[in-house]
Amino acid sequence: MKIDKISFLILFALLSTAVGAAPKPIPDPPSLKADSYFLLDFDSGRVLAEKNPDKHIEPASITKLMTAYLVDKAIADGDITADELVTISEKAWRMKGSKMFVEVGRQITVADLLKGLIIQSGNDASIALAEHVAGSESAFAGYMNHQAGLLGMTNTSFKNATGWPVEGHYSSARDIAILTRAVIRDFPETYRIYKEKEYTFNEIRQYNRNRLLWRDDTVDGVKTGHTEAAGYCLVASALRGKMRLISVVIGASSDKARTQSSQALLNYGYRFFETHRLYRANEVLKTARVWYGDREQVAMGVANDIHITIPRGRYQELEAAMEIDSEISAPIRLGQELGMVTVKLDDEVIVNENIVATQAINDGGLLVKALDSIKLMFR
């Protein structure tokens, strides 16, 4: 199949302004006293910094991100509702560690328990919700591992809904970032709860343990964790302008250290990188001639939004090329692959994405086919 190659530049200012200017080097990430860390751009998925990203660690209370995710999924699937009542079991009531301070036998709404889980990091709320969704905490752990597999969390194994230390319960900095990205993307309404600084239940006021919520107003989540083996852990997310970053710090020496390390990672990402949406999903990027169809032109674009994260100040240096099939014949189905768009910075490929039909083209009939056959002969 012949391919016509169409080269073009993604420029919003004259390229000549960048000619001759050497790009500024990107410094190494800050040196952090943590067992592992991970810095991810939310939209593009680009990793900006990492240390031991796949090392198995105790996720501690960060586990509750998956618990909350599955509760939200159960609500979205219609299995439960946010306002239905959950009866607190003795197991939930007796659970040690951080608590929402629910009472055995009391009935509490799913919505209230979800707030207690997210803001107060209540182990009792976690177990109550797990039992309500799956019948038992052990069955819920099976749901957790299934969902982890669907999300691509390849270094994670859940044994409970709380993060209470037990053999075989582990995750990694990368997997935690993957899960956090899913929480923000799939359930934005619930994600708003993660920035709430306090919650009062049963006349007991408790404060969110994420200290970044007080020191950086661009931070709107996410979750802390701490056990003796795991050390002090924090997964955080911030939104500055239209750029959202997710940082994960595992194994810091103190609450203060995990807060400072997370802040340093976020500041590094925003200082030296920028994220842009190059193309919108189904936006028409090009039209091309169609043969043998009921229309002569087909509109083309990309199936999903395309974001890129690049060194700050180098947007004008991006180069893109489209490769479109030179002979496109009907019928064409919606979403059919018709070419490729590639975006480079220097010699690095930033984007390599299929170009697809944004409309369907039907067969044009015998007369159209006959006429187009003649036209192609003299093309």
Task: Indicate which residue of 44, 64, 172, 261 is catalytic.
Answer: 64
CA distances from 247 to 107, 128, 189, 264 (A): 36, 29, 21, 10
What are the backbone dihedrals phi and psi of residue 249, each rounded to the nearest 5 degrees, phi first?
-120, 125
d(CA 145, CA 140): 9
CA distances from 70 to 137, 182, 208 (A): 13, 11, 21
Task: Indicate which residue of 36, 44, 89, 121 is catalytic.
Answer: 121
Place of tokens 């014949």: 329
Q: Which amino acid is at 241?
A: G
Of the candidates 202, 38, 218, the one whose C-alpha atom is nearest the C-alpha of residue 120 is: 202
Place of tokens 């599955």: 70
Tally the residues of the chain: 379
Task: Indicate which residue of 61, 126, 171, 262 is catalytic.
Answer: 61
CA distances from 260 to 226, 231, 247 (A): 16, 15, 12
Whether 253 is catalytic:
no
d(CA 177, CA 166): 22
- What DSSP character marks residue 358? S
Whether 33 is catalytic:
no
For residue 190, what are the contacts with CB-CB under 8 A and spacing of at least 6? 68, 72, 114, 118, 183
CA distances from 17 to 27, 318, 350 (A): 24, 13, 22
- Count CB neighbours of 94 within 10 A: 10
d(CA 26, CA 290): 46
What DSSP string describes 98-155? Answer: S-----TT-EEEHHHHHHHHHTS--HHHHHHHHHHHHSSHHHHHHHHHHHHHHHT-TT
Whether 61 is catalytic:
yes
Catalytic residues: 61, 64, 121
